[in-house]
């Protein structure tokens, strides 16, 4: 489907970053799953220590080879940019923890640290997004604000418009590691399979309420699946980020388990399609 499509848009959620030891939300050990069961979330991973996963690096390579054309993400961990995916190839709907912006002149600052750690909310400046730093652009002394979108806040217009524009051009939506429960992000793939007459693939550990709309549903961990996909496409994944960090090769024994993984995926897809036809 990837090779047959002319404009592929990938939609990623927290599940793509779990191999980086960052928690997801609706997975078996997810933040909201544990909250619903009155369990404590013990994840202590500092987001600054997280590295892009095999899946992040695979998507960057696919973009580089013009096999995917845009990534829309609801993650704030900045791992897509750190993998080498260029800013023009990415829409970060919920912000980026490394990005802060001057509201006075509009200058963006992409930092090497988490901008949300030390805010400077005060009586004089009560905005909780204020990072406490000041713009150093010429003739500007405006306050800097993080780019994170909290519950109830509006999405950044520029990022959403870019995501929607690519969705309207798309003929294949690939949904990766998300339960598709947060609007309006979860509605964007529908532009492709409903409005454009295109197709959708959902790759997630759990069921989603959009599974019946998908051409294909694949259950499994992101890194396992994308390792197989890259082998099928004959592409090597670069395990060194542009900044020189070595990304852990999450599935080191993939060559030994590759035939089994392909067989499992084919069997799951066939079972899903049979159930879909009977329904």
Instruction: Report the pLDDT value the prediction gives residue 276, as an integer from 0 to 100.
Output: 60
Residue pair 196/172 in contact (Cβ under 8 Å)? The answer is no
Contacts of 95 (CB under 8 A, 6+ apart): 76, 146, 147, 148, 149, 156
33-54 confidence digits (pLDDT tens): 333 334 344 455 578 878 889 9
Whether 264 shows a pLDDT value over 80: the answer reads: no
Catalytic residues: 94
Across the chain, mean pLDDT equals: 82
**Helices 222-233 and 254-278 sit at what angle, rounded to 10 degrees?**
100
pLDDT top residue among 146 and 29: 146
- String of DSSP letters for 149-167: --TTPPPPHHHHHHHHHHH
pLDDT top residue among 266 and 200: 200
DSSP-derived 3-state class of residue 178: coil
Return d(Cα 263, Cα 144) in angstroms, integer.
51
pTM, to two decimals: 0.80
Structure tokens at 259: 């035939």
Average pLDDT over residues 54-80: 95
Whether 189 shows a pLDDT value over 70: the answer reads: yes
85-118 confidence digits (pLDDT tens): 999 999 999 999 889 999 899 998 888 888 887 6
Residue 7 burial (CB count, 10 A): 17
Contacts of 43 (CB under 8 A, 6+ apart): 21, 22, 23, 31
Return d(Cα 197, Cα 203) in angstroms, integer.
20
Return d(Cα 239, Cα 251) in angstroms, integer.
12
Percentage with pLDDT > 70 across the chain? 77
């Amino acid at each position: 489907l990837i090779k047959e499509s002319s404009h592929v848009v990938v939609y990623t959620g927290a599940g793509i970053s779990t191999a980086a030891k960052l928690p997801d939300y609706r997975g078996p050990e997810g933040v909201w799953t544990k909250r619903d069961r009155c369990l404590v979330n013990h994840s202590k991973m500092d987001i600054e220590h997280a590295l892009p996963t095999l899946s992040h690096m695979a998507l960057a390579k696919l973009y580089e080879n013009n096999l995917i054309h845009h990534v829309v993400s609801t993650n704030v961990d900045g791992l897509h940019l750190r993998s080498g995916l260029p800013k023009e190839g990415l829409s970060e709907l919920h912000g980026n923890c490394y990005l802060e912006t001057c509201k006075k002149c509009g200058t963006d600052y992409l930092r090497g640290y988490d901008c949300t750690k030390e805010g400077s909310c005060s009586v004089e400046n009560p905005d909780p997004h204020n990072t406490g730093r000041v713009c150093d652009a010429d003739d500007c002394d405006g306050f800097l604000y993080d780019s994170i979108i909290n519950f109830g806040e509006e999405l950044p217009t520029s990022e959403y418009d870019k995501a929607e524009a690519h969705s309207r051009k798309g003929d294949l939506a690939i949904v990766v590691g998300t339960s598709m429960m947060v609007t309006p992000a979860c509605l964007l793939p529908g532009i492709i399979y409903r409005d454009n007459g295109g197709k959708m693939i959902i790759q997630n550990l759990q069921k989603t309420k959009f599974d019946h709309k998908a051409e294909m549903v694949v259950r499994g961990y992101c890194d396992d699946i994308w390792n197989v996909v890259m082998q099928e496409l004959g592409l090597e994944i670069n395990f060194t980020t542009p900044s020189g960090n070595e990304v852990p090769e999450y599935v080191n024994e993939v060559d030994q388990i590759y035939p089994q993984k392909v067989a499992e995926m084919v069997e799951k897809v066939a079972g899903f399609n049979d159930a879909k036809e009977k329904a």
